[in-house]
Structure 1
Amino acid sequence: MTFQFDFGPEGVAGEGYRKVTPADSYDSERGYGFVKGSQVSAVRRSGEPLVGDFCIPFDATFVVDVPDGNYIVDLSLSDELAPTHTSLKTNGERLILKDRRTIQGQIVWEKFAVNVRGGKLKLSFGGLAPRLNALRIAHSPELITLFLAGDSTVTDPRDGIFPQSGWGQMLPYYFKHDVAVANHAVGGRSSKSFIGEGRLDAIKEEIKEGDFLFIQFGHNDQKPDEARFTDPETTYKEYLKRYVDAARSANATPVLITSVQRRFFDEAGKLKDTHGAYLDAVRELAQEEGVALIDLAEKSKRLYEELGPEETKKLLLWGEPGEWLNYSSGVQDNTHFQEYGSLRIAELVVQGIRELNLMPLTMYLR
């Protein structure tokens, strides 16, 4: 199953491609188009097939209805007469391209993987001078899927909370097109409530041999309510083991991750640990079960202490009154990240992948 689109002013499309102009707003019957509110214009430079014309998707989102699953996406973002500057996020605002530049006349095709849930593949464009010449979308069920189970520090953001961001949102940026990231993490969930809501069952329905399941909980396992609380000495490890068993039953690889640190410093500028025995429980379970461990608590501790109390505010969700549109009264959140912070934390997760030499994931890192 393949979808192919040629973008630009009205005219003849490349062979096998559908022509898309700025006037093509998303329509459910047609199954593709730019969503309402997108700023799109079009330019023709030459008669060169596919890359001789383009749309300028300035702060625009293009949507294609596709069945759920993994897809490889190829897109061209070139201009014969001008340099370009494009950023791109896919479903769930997952980062794919950041400040991608081309020089005048440079023909560039970018290739990446997208995991689709909910029947829509979304491409959200940013940048100072974005371009979109052509787009190919091919169903690729054979791709390695990297599943993420976790909480708000991992999840893709909801609408209306920018710049809050989870590190799972940024993970696709570090992978080539051979790996699709399926971020099932949801804010407010513990290892217990995630299972209670059937979210692990949803992963079990999709995970296959050769896939990976990254597991990071703990922030909400500390909460006192019955639906979420687990005891680090007993039930926390028991619930985490159910994730490990779910991956192994599908011949997939589980990876345990300790909770990313909260931003709390003592007077000497040293980080205060707020997770206590929950971190030890993850480390113990990894050793007992022979499971790969990324010690994100330790890695984020080193990062925070290196930056110090003031600089770490640039990682976390801090803002003055009026600084962020969605937090107009100001915000001081020492748990959740803004996008720059989640990108840095995702970098630490990638560092852990390299250190463990998790094959073949390591091969497919950019």
Structure 2
Amino acid sequence: MKTFRYLLVLICCCSFLVPEQPRLRIFMAGDSTMQLYDTLNTPQRGWGQVFGACFKQNVEIHDLARGGRSTRSFKAEGHWQGLLNQLRKDDWVIIEFGHNDHDKRKPERYTTPEEYKNNLIAMIGDVRAKGANPIILTPIAMRNFDKNGIYHDGHGLYPAEAKKAAQICNVPVLDIDSLFAKEIIQLGPEKSKALFMNFGPGLYKAYPEGKTDNTHLRLSGAKMVAGIVASAIKSQKISPIDTYIL
């Protein structure tokens, strides 16, 4: 009996010596379509704040996206360096900009398509210098139908430049612009409103008069985009991150 107790104590002590399996860490850099929102005060959601539901429990997600930021302003304001300061070897960084890069009305945000591509290339280099792994995303599609119900992409040259940056650097690229657009088109002009901050009056206390916003997401849209991103990682077999997806 005494021998059994000693053995039990030995097993318990040894269990503390087994190193904890490192968690997969994912950092997210992007704009308002990705960022975190106060769930009590607005129905608006960034897809990054629901992305964790696509993974097993041993994944640690840091959503550092900020609304209104482009590849230029995210770096100029220090957000990018703040992300880099937290990176460790083998971490993952998902980078999704573009919505604000093509906003010529705000020079602090605006980048030409060429500058946008070069900024992404620089970000890729920064992540790799930390021993971490970058994934480039094209900006997510907007709900953009004309009066005849025909869908038009609203990002111009920027998705193609994101793909070029990834190709030049030989890193994974997920064309979320095209993938999400397919879902929007399938739903059509009316039903696709439910994905976005596009609704009539009286539905939400914070927006008594309603809202017409075809860029930012509600919960259903955020979940859809998060699922699209997770499925794209899985289908491209981006290892080992794909093995953590449910």
Scaled to the shorter chain, the TM-score interval is 0.7 to 0.9
Q: Deviations over 1:146-185 (max 9, x none)?
A: 1100000000114665100011011001111221110000
Give the match for residue 243 of structure 1.
Answer: 123
Larger fraction in helix: 2
Cα offset, 1:316, TM superposition = 0.5
Alignment partner of 1:153 is 2:33: yes
Q: Normalized against structure 1, the TM-score is what? A: 0.60
Cα offset, 1:142, TM superposition = 3.1
Match of 2:170 among 284, 290, 294: 290
Residue type of the partner of 2:209? Answer: S
Separation in structure 2 between the aligned mates of residue 159 and residue 295 of structure 1, nearest angstrom? 28
Cα RMSD, aligned residues only: 1.5
Identity fraction in percent = 32
Gap regions ≥5 residues in structure 2:
1-19
Residue type of the partner of 1:188? Answer: G
Alignment partner of 1:204 is 2:89: no
Give the match for residue 236 of structure 2.
Answer: 356
Alignment partner of 1:258 is 2:138: yes
Separation in structure 1 between the aligned mates of residue 79 and residue 40 of structure 2, nearest angstrom? 23
Contact 1:160 1:326 in 2 (8 A): no
Alignment partner of 1:269 is 2:149: yes
Q: Normalized against structure 2, the TM-score is what? A: 0.88
Cα offset, 1:144, TM superposition = 1.7
User: Which consecutive segments of 4 or more residues in structure 1 shift more than 4 A?
Assistant: none
Inter-CA distance 176–150: structure 2 relative to 1 (3 Å threshold): same
Separation in structure 2 between the aligned mates of residue 321 and residue 328 of structure 1, nearest angstrom? 5
Query: Per chain length, whose mean CA-contact separation is higher, i.e. which structure has more relative contact order (CA < 8 Å, sep 6+)?
Result: 2
Residue type of the partner of 2:226? Answer: A
Contact 2:121 2:166 in 1 (8 A): no
Separation in structure 2 between the aligned mates of residue 141 and residue 220 of structure 1, nearest angstrom? 39
Cα offset, 1:342, TM superposition = 0.4
Within a 5 Å distance, the mapping from 1:124-135 to structure 2 comes to none
Gap regions ≥5 residues in structure 1:
1-139
Within a 5 Å distance, the mapping from 1:70-89 to structure 2 comes to none
Within a 5 Å distance, the mapping from 1:152-171 to structure 2 comes to 152-158=32-38, 161-171=41-51
Give the match for residue 36 of structure 1.
Answer: none
The alignment of Structure 1 onto Structure 2 pairs a total of residues equal to 226
Separation in structure 1 between the aligned mates of residue 201 and residue 161 of structure 2, nearest angstrom? 39
Residue type of the partner of 2:66? Answer: V
Residue type of the partner of 1:207? Answer: L
Match of 1:229 among 105, 110, 132: 110
Match of 2:194 among 311, 314, 337: 314
Alignment partner of 1:175 is 2:61: no
Residue type of the partner of 2:161? Answer: A
Alignment partner of 1:329 is 2:209: yes
Give the match for residue 281 of structure 1.
Answer: 161
Residue type of the partner of 1:331? Answer: K
Contact 1:167 1:342 in 2 (8 A): yes
Give the match for residue 186 of structure 1.
Answer: 66
Q: Deviations over 1:84-103 (max 9, x none)?
A: xxxxxxxxxxxxxxxxxxxx
Separation in structure 2 between the aligned mates of residue 168 and residue 270 of structure 1, nearest angstrom? 29
Cα offset, 1:362, TM superposition = 1.2
Cα offset, 1:206, TM superposition = 0.9
Cα offset, 1:141, TM superposition = 9.4
Contact 2:99 2:155 in 1 (8 A): yes
Contact 1:166 1:342 in 2 (8 A): yes
